Structure 1
């Protein structure tokens, strides 16, 4: 789990709330829905499988409350988007982390 260096600390629960539409405190950046990282992240952070995540966001979007997190192609694209936005958070493979982002915690 990474954030822009300007972001303070976040707990696993706060991050799950961001990615599951319960909080708008920061801008979540998702990986592509079909990726293994997407499924793994939601299972570990939110305890939900891909179908449950899709159902949650369908309900939120249909209600007009907000849009689902923006999806990008891969870990490198998440890192780039997070580094460019002071309110962004995302999840990436450890191998792409550098000084342009801050590691909040690991879901290993």
Structure 2
């Protein structure tokens, strides 16, 4: 009986993890020619190590104030907490090695900014995705 409970708990955790993994989506302007990113490229972009799109245009980073969405993104894509991500960018700004992402309030504001910025990249909750922006799958 104890083994069944442990196995049930394990299965539940696996399904819960896979459900949460799909909760955040990277988004770009609909005119951005990029159709997907590798996990490594996504991480490099958000840590300021990749600064230009393939066409040479400067990448403009957007991040969210929304705690739950930001924590989900930084944990799954960057393997960092939101606090570690903020500290990383404060250090980069202080040392002159980079400029932190533009902070927006929530999913709705993120979509507004990305919809008008062809160089921008951001993240939103999958539930907020609509045709105002283009989803960028991470491969």
Task: Report the TM-score when normalising by structure 1.
Answer: 0.87
Structure 1 or 2: more helix by fraction: 2
Residue aligned with 1:60, SS: helix
CA RMSD of superposed structures (Å): 1.5
Q: Which runs of 5+ in 1 are unaligned?
A: none
**Aligned match of 2:13:** none
Post-superposition offset of 1:104: 0.7
Post-superposition offset of 1:28: 1.4
Q: Distance in 2 between matches of 1:76 and 1:58?
A: 25
Report the number of matched residues: 105
Q: Which runs of 5+ in 2 are unaligned?
A: 1-25, 53-58
Post-superposition offset of 1:50: 2.1
Task: Report the TM-score when normalising by structure 2.
Answer: 0.69
Matches within 5 A, 1:30-41: 30-32=63-65, 35-41=67-73
